[in-house]
Every structure is written in C-alpha cells, then in structure tokens.
Chains A and B, each alone.
Chain A
Amino acid sequence: MTCNYCTLFVDLATRSLMIHKAMQIRPFARSSIARVAALNGLLLAASMMVVLGTVYLWTSRILASEGDELVSVETQSIGADFREKGLDAFVTEMIDRAEDPWIRGGIYEMRGPRGDFLAGNVVVLPELHADAAGWAEFDVDVVHGEASVPRRIRGRILTLDHGFRVLVGHDVQDRLAFRSVMLRSLVWALAMVILFGSLGGWWLGRRISRTAQAITKSAGRIARGDLGERLPISGSGDEIDALVSRFNDLLGRVDTLTGTMRAVLDSTAHDLRGHLNRIRGAAQDAQQAAREPAQVESTAIVIAEIDRLSDTLQGLLRIALAESGTAPLDAVDLSRLAAELVEFYEPVSAKGQLSSVIEANLYVRGHRQLLAQALSNLLDNAIKYGGAAPILVRLVAEGEMAILSVQDGGVGIPEDQRELATQRFRRLGGASGLPGSGLGLSLVSAVARLHQATLRLEDASPGLRASLRIPLER
C-alpha cells in the first residue's frame, strides 16, 4: 500500500522539517544573512582594492616620472654646457634660470669647489645627501606673497668639472598633495564599497532567506500531514519558482495518490468488515440454534476463527492507516501517555519487574491512539518474551528528539533477524508457542514512520531494547 513517491516525499518533508526546526532554534537564518552580506562586502572590497590600487600606483608613477623627466632633460647636457660656456656665462644662466618667473617650480643652486654659493634660489646643498643616482628630496620654505610655505622638492645633484656642484630640482608639492587627495578618495571609495556591498549582501541574503523560510514553513506543514498545502511561489519566475512549482506538481500527485490510497483502504475495510460481520452473525445464529454438543463446539471454533481473522484484519488496517499518512495528528503528551501505559501494564508484569524513567512534559505531534497502541505492543512483547527479567521503559529528550525505549531482559532478537522482525506476519523462532498475530512490531514500525520517527531494535545484552526516536513538538 505504500508507494515510492510517499517514501520520497516523507523523506524530503522530514528533511525540510528538520531544517525548519533547526532554523527555529539557532539563529541560522540571521547568521546566514550575515555571512552572505559579509562575504559580498569582502569580495567587493577586495576587487575594488585591486582596481583602485592599480589606478593609484600607475597615477603616482606617471606623476613621479613626469617631474623627474623635466629635471633629467634639464640636466642632460649641463656638463657639456658648463664646459662650453665657461664659468661666468654658466653662473649667469643659472641666476637667470633661478629668477625666471616663467619656470614654475624650478629650483637651482650652484656651489663652487670650496662650497661657496655662486647662484640659485635655495640654500640647501651643503647638507644635502643624494642617492646613488644623484637624486635627493628635501623641503624648503618658499616665499609666496607674504607667507612662506614649506614645499617638497625633488632634485638632482650634479658634480661638474673642477668640483663645481649644481642642484636642479623640481617642486613636487602639488604632486604629493594630489597623491594624498587621491589616496583619501580611494580609502573613502573603498569604505563606501564595503558599506554598500554589505548592505546589498544583507538585502540579498534576507531575500533568499525569506524565500527559504516561507518554503520550509510550508514544507513543515506538509510534513505534518497537510497534503493540501502548497509551497509559496514568489511570482518572479526565477529558478526557485521553477523548482517550487515542480515540487508542487509532485505534491499534487502525492496528494492524489494518497487520497486514492485512503479511498481504496476505506472501501476495502468497509467491504471486508461487512462480510465478516455477516459471517459472524450467521455463525452466532447457528451457535444459538445448535443442539448437539459437536455442533456447538464447531460453531464456537468458527466464531473464534472469525474473531482471529477480524483481529488480523484490524491490525492490517491500522498499519495501512498509519502508512497512508492520512491519520490526523495532534499534540500528544508522550510523557503522560508512557506513564499511563506503564501503569496500565504493571499488574500483568511480575512484581517489581516493570520500572520506568520518564522525563515530564515531552510533547510530540502524533496520533494518540496509534502511539498508545505502538507502545502497548512493545510492552506486551517485553512482558511476553522477556521472562521475569526487569523491564525498563525510558523516555528522555535528546536535542530535538524524544527517545522512548522499552528494554527487556529476555532472549532478544539475533542481529540478522532484527530487520525481519518488523515485517508483517513475521514471527521469529521461539515465538510460535505464544499468542500473537505477527503484526505487533510492523505496527510499531508503521506508526514510527507516520511520526517521522525511527524504530531501532538493539541488543541490550541480555534482552532487547526497542527504541523510538520521535521529533519533539515545539
């Protein structure tokens, strides 16, 4: 009666429910947005840093080379000039150059072999140290109208014939100012990029997270059995919408299949029970009419067999109901249910055999009757197969799960047969002498599936521990 779609669906739904639950507990969504935003901001910042850094480096290199080129051109032939023109003419030209208002930013100084000042508009040469290529940088106060302003100069120091020294420099203060303005704007731009990048990332992350949340919320309702629910479509027609609408189509099919299955289940149940009811009526009628002891006995056997058949049918229908996933679920106080069942079974167990450790107020979304029947089957098994050894019923919360286990001290189930034990009509060796339909554990396992729970059969050495892990209701 199950179908692949159902298994797939329940699996998907269970997972989304887990995600849904996880999101409710940890600030997963928020941290996810923060991560997307931070990553977005960082990536933007890094790429902008590379671009702007390159611009900055190239610009400052061009600016530097521009100034240096001027000086280089001026100083290229200065040695030859000096030799050709002679000292006096050269000094005169130096003075002219130093005082020429048209040469903006030009800095000159000339010193004789003994360091005596010959010409120039600055006095810095004696203290100046040049690098290997003859370049030096220094600050001078330049009179600018009334005030004198410190300006950065970069220049070249050349040693001419007979120990004469010449400094030809260029005002690079503007270049420095430009560079610092540029650097400042770059830092600002970077800060803006990080800010807007993060904001954009946050917005984007929130959008994605909202979509995901809406989907998980619906998926949670679907997983709880509301097959009429559909995942929300944003209407933007994007890939998520396409995915969601495909998923909705799938849900529609599951819904139809489940409906059909339930209808088939109900009509089969109705039909079979109707037949059994008539047969039982006839048999009871015959029993009333019977006069011979042999007739009374045989009708009693028939009635007993009909009742056994009814029980088996009832068991199968319950399993089918649980597996159809159409049983309505509600909040169930599992702690109370477990305590009540332990109390219920206590009189049929040996004195002091049954003990329980039950954590209070553990609620699950479930079907009270089916859960009670499942636990009743486990307790019945423990009492039936466990001998007089102690039985422990334990209910604890473990994270998002309620763990309900029944542990006996009986012979247990060999490891290779545990899988078989949950199959229908499977009665393991040693059980044939005891009453039972062979449906007990299959019902437990079907009820487990209905509750998105897992049934585990473990070796309690000695004995068997059957445990159900059921998602807790928030």
Chain B
Amino acid sequence: MKILLIEDDRRASDYLTKGLRELGHAVDQAFDGEAGCSVALAGGFDVLILDRMLPKRDGLEIVKALRAVGSTVPILILSALDEVDERVQGLRAGGDDYLAKPYHLEELAARIDALARRPRDSAPISRLKVADLELDSRNRKVTRANRKIELTTREFQLLEFLMRHTGQVVTRTMILEAVWDYHFDPKTNVIDVHISRLRQAIDKGYDVQLLHTIRGSGYTLTDDP
C-alpha cells in the first residue's frame, strides 16, 4: 500500500515510517503542511496520514483543499489533542478517521488497512457473505449454512461490522467506536466478552471457525486466517 505521511515531528514520523515499512507498506514522508499538500494533490496514494497541527499549512486545511478538488483518497488524521471534540472537527472537514497520539502502531495499521480497503462506491452492500455465513442488513437476517442464527440488535451490528471488514484486523477501539460510538477506554475486557458471545452464536458447532483473535491487535472474521 502506498502511504503519504505528513508529520512535522521528524522523529515520530521516522518511527512510524519504519514501522509501516516493516508491515510492507511504501511510505512517503512530508514534514510541513505546504510540501505535504502539494505532494498529496499530485495524487497516487492509497492512504494519507496527516497530523492535525502542521507548520505552514494546517492539517484540516489540507483535508479541505483535497476534498475541494474532488480527491477521494482516504485520510487518517493524527492528533495530539483530546480526540473527543477534535475528532468531530476532523471528520467534518472531510477526514475519514481520527487517531489520538500516542497511538499503537497496530491500531494505526489496522485503521489505514480498513480505510484503504473501504469500497469507494457510495451505496453499501446489504447482503454480506463470508464462507457459509450470510447476513442481510435489510431484513436483519443471519444464516450459517442456511440455518437461521438469532442475534440481538447489538450482536447483529457487531457481526455486520466484522463482515464488512472481512479479512482485515479490527481493533477493540475500532469496534467500540463503530458499534457503540464510545470514544473512551472502558478499562475492562468487555469487547472480548461480546466477541466471545458472538463467536458462540456463529461458530459453535461448525468445523470452520470464522471469528479469530489476533494477539495484540484485535479480531478478524475470515475463513482464510
């Protein structure tokens, strides 16, 4: 994946670049807003990572400039400001995701992966299928090997989120934000327990296990781990 990283903190940028390269991504670095903006406008990147506060040109301004010229490149905003309210501003400006510093490399990697693989066409697919597990979001029906599975509303939302990101790693924080819209750390293993309940519902009694735990990162739903 080709990534442009616009970050004025040179050392932080280097660590992140190194980490991302080790994960197999190609990373270009820019160290101020102006340079970053012109590189970004030239295009050719799968994902943009940019700091919220940059010298010469503010991060949000770059986002707005890109969106103004019709660029749809996924943008992840990094910020050292409290994410509660800054986040809203970042997304409103046209950002696709928002991550507060200090971040875990695994968290950031999972998020840009999700961003890059997000389907570009606007209409979301209502029928999802992973192996023999099927979900229809219009009539809220879930079946596995054509057998109906009863889920609570929240379990359904959780499964839908996992299925939309099939084959990708989703972190606990991503789940917490997407399914519950909570932007704080509940400090307990609540998400793990919700996942294990869902696993009971969709995997118990089947040979092929679909919901997998990725140590140190999160979870993934796939028939090809």
Residues of chain A whose beta carbon lies under 8 Å from any beta carbon of chain B: 266, 269-271, 273-274, 276-282, 284-285, 288, 306-307, 310-311, 314, 317-318, 321, 327-328, 340, 343-345, 347-348, 367, 369-370, 372-373, 376, 380, 383, 435-436
Is there an interface contact between B85 and A328, defined as CB atoms closer than 8 Å?
A: yes
Of B84, B101, B102, B182, chain A has the most CB atoms within 10 Å of the CB of B102
Residue in A266, A274, A307, A380 whose beta carbon sits within 8 Å of that of B186 in the complex: A380
Q: Which one of B33-41, B135-143, B189-197, B217-225 is at the A interface?
A: B189-197
Is there an interface contact between A340 and B180, defined as CB atoms closer than 8 Å?
A: yes
CB distance from A322 to the nearest CB of B (A): 10
Interface residues of B in 53-76 (CB under 8 A from A): 53
| CB nearest neighbor in A for B8 | A274
Which secondary structure dominates chain A's binding surface? helix
Other A-B pairs beyond A280-B102, A369-B84, A376-B186, 20, CB < 8 Å: A269-B82, A271-B80, A274-B9, A274-B101, A277-B12, A277-B80, A277-B102, A281-B14, A282-B15, A288-B19, A288-B22, A311-B185, A317-B82, A327-B85, A343-B154, A348-B189, A370-B84, A376-B182, A380-B187, A380-B188
**Chain B residues with Cβ under 8 A from A269's Cβ?**
80-82
With the chains together, A343 CA to B190 CA distance in Å?
A: 11
Is there an interface contact between A344 and B102, defined as CB atoms closer than 8 Å?
A: no
The reply to whether the CB of B147 lies closer than 8 angstroms to some CB of chain A is: no
Residue in B9, B16, B182, B188 whose beta carbon sits within 8 Å of that of A369 in the complex: B182
Please count the residue pairs between chain A and chain B whose beta carbons lie under 8 angstroms apart in the complex.
Answer: 99
Interface residues of B in 138-186 (CB under 8 A from A): 154, 180, 182-186
| CB nearest neighbor in B for A435 | B187
With the chains together, A347 CA to B190 CA distance in Å?
A: 7
CB distance from A135 to the nearest CB of B (A): 95
Residue in A270, A373, A435 whose beta carbon sits within 8 Å of that of B81 in the complex: A270
The reply to whether the CB of B105 lies closer than 8 angstroms to some CB of chain A is: yes
**Chain A residues with Cβ under 8 A from B14's Cβ?**
281
With the chains together, A307 CA to B16 CA distance in Å?
A: 17
With the chains together, A367 CA to B105 CA distance in Å?
A: 29
Is there an interface contact between B188 and A383, defined as CB atoms closer than 8 Å?
A: yes
**Chain A residues with Cβ under 8 A from B204's Cβ?**
none
With the chains together, A465 CA to B51 CA distance in Å?
A: 43
Residue in A273, A285, A340, A343 whose beta carbon sits within 8 Å of that of B80 in the complex: A273
Is there an interface contact between A348 and B190, defined as CB atoms closer than 8 Å?
A: yes
| CB nearest neighbor in B for A281 | B15
**Chain B residues with Cβ under 8 A from A281's Cβ?**
11-12, 14-16, 19
Q: Which 4 A-B pairs have the closest CB atoms?
A: A281-B15, A273-B80, A277-B102, A347-B193
**Chain A residues with Cβ under 8 A from B22's Cβ?**
288
With the chains together, A7 CA to B197 CA distance in Å?
A: 46
With the chains together, A318 CA to B22 CA distance in Å?
A: 34
Is there an interface contact between B15 and A285, defined as CB atoms closer than 8 Å?
A: yes
Is there an interface contact between A369 and B11, defined as CB atoms closer than 8 Å?
A: no
| CB nearest neighbor in A for B78 | A277
| CB nearest neighbor in A for B19 | A284
Interface residues of B in 208-222 (CB under 8 A from A): none
Is there an interface contact between B193 and A277, defined as CB atoms closer than 8 Å?
A: no
| Given contact pairs A344-B190, A347-B194, A369 touches B183 in the complex (Cβ within 8 A) | yes
CB distance from B50 to the nearest CB of A (A): 15
CB distance from A241 to the nearest CB of B (A): 36
CB distance from B19 to the nearest CB of A (A): 7
Q: What are 9 A-B contacts with C-beta separation under 8 Å?
A: A269-B81, A274-B80, A280-B104, A282-B11, A288-B22, A307-B104, A345-B190, A347-B197, A380-B188
**Chain A residues with Cβ under 8 A from B80's Cβ?**
269-271, 273-274, 277
**Chain A residues with Cβ under 8 A from B16's Cβ?**
281
Residue in B53, B182, B184 whose beta carbon sits within 8 Å of that of A270 in the complex: B53
With the chains together, A376 CA to B53 CA distance in Å?
A: 31
Is there an interface contact between A376 and B184, defined as CB atoms closer than 8 Å?
A: yes
Q: How many residues of B contact A (CB 8 A)?
A: 35
**Chain A residues with Cβ under 8 A from B129's Cβ?**
none
| CB nearest neighbor in B for A283 | B15
CB distance from A407 to the nearest CB of B (A): 19
With the chains together, A266 CA to B83 CA distance in Å?
A: 11
CB-defined interface of B4-33 with A at 8 Å, one 1/0 digit per residue? 000001011011101100100000000000
**Chain A residues with Cβ under 8 A from B15's Cβ?**
278, 281-282, 284-285
The reply to whether the CB of B130 lies closer than 8 angstroms to some CB of chain A is: no
**Chain A residues with Cβ under 8 A from B12's Cβ?**
274, 277-278, 281
CB-defined interface of B81-107 with A at 8 Å, one 1/0 digit per residue? 110110000000000000011111100
Residue in A273, A284, A317, A380 whose beta carbon sits within 8 Å of that of B105 in the complex: A284
Is there an interface contact between A372 and B101, defined as CB atoms closer than 8 Å?
A: no
**Chain A residues with Cβ under 8 A from B85's Cβ?**
321, 327-328
With the chains together, A372 CA to B183 CA distance in Å?
A: 9
Is there an interface contact between B105 and A348, defined as CB atoms closer than 8 Å?
A: no
CB distance from B83 to the nearest CB of A (A): 9
With the chains together, A266 CA to B85 CA distance in Å?
A: 12
**Chain A residues with Cβ under 8 A from B188's Cβ?**
348, 380, 383
With the chains together, A409 CA to B56 CA distance in Å?
A: 57
| CB nearest neighbor in A for B13 | A281
**Chain B residues with Cβ under 8 A from A266's Cβ?**
81-82
| Given contact pairs A273-B100, A278-B12, A285 touches B18 in the complex (Cβ within 8 A) | yes
With the chains together, A269 CA to B197 CA distance in Å?
A: 38
| Given contact pairs A281-B12, A347-B194, A318 touches B101 in the complex (Cβ within 8 A) | no
**Chain B residues with Cβ under 8 A from A280's Cβ?**
102, 104
With the chains together, A414 CA to B193 CA distance in Å?
A: 32
**Chain B residues with Cβ under 8 A from A343's Cβ?**
154
With the chains together, A380 CA to B105 CA distance in Å?
A: 28
**Chain A residues with Cβ under 8 A from B193's Cβ?**
347-348
Is there an interface contact between B187 and A436, defined as CB atoms closer than 8 Å?
A: yes
CB distance from B197 to the nearest CB of A (A): 6
**Chain B residues with Cβ under 8 A from A277's Cβ?**
9, 12, 80, 101-103
With the chains together, A276 CA to B101 CA distance in Å?
A: 8
| CB nearest neighbor in A for B51 | A274
| CB nearest neighbor in A for B22 | A288
| CB nearest neighbor in A for B190 | A348
| Given contact pairs A347-B194, A348-B189, A369-B182, A273 touches B101 in the complex (Cβ within 8 A) | yes
CB distance from B139 to the nearest CB of A (A): 23
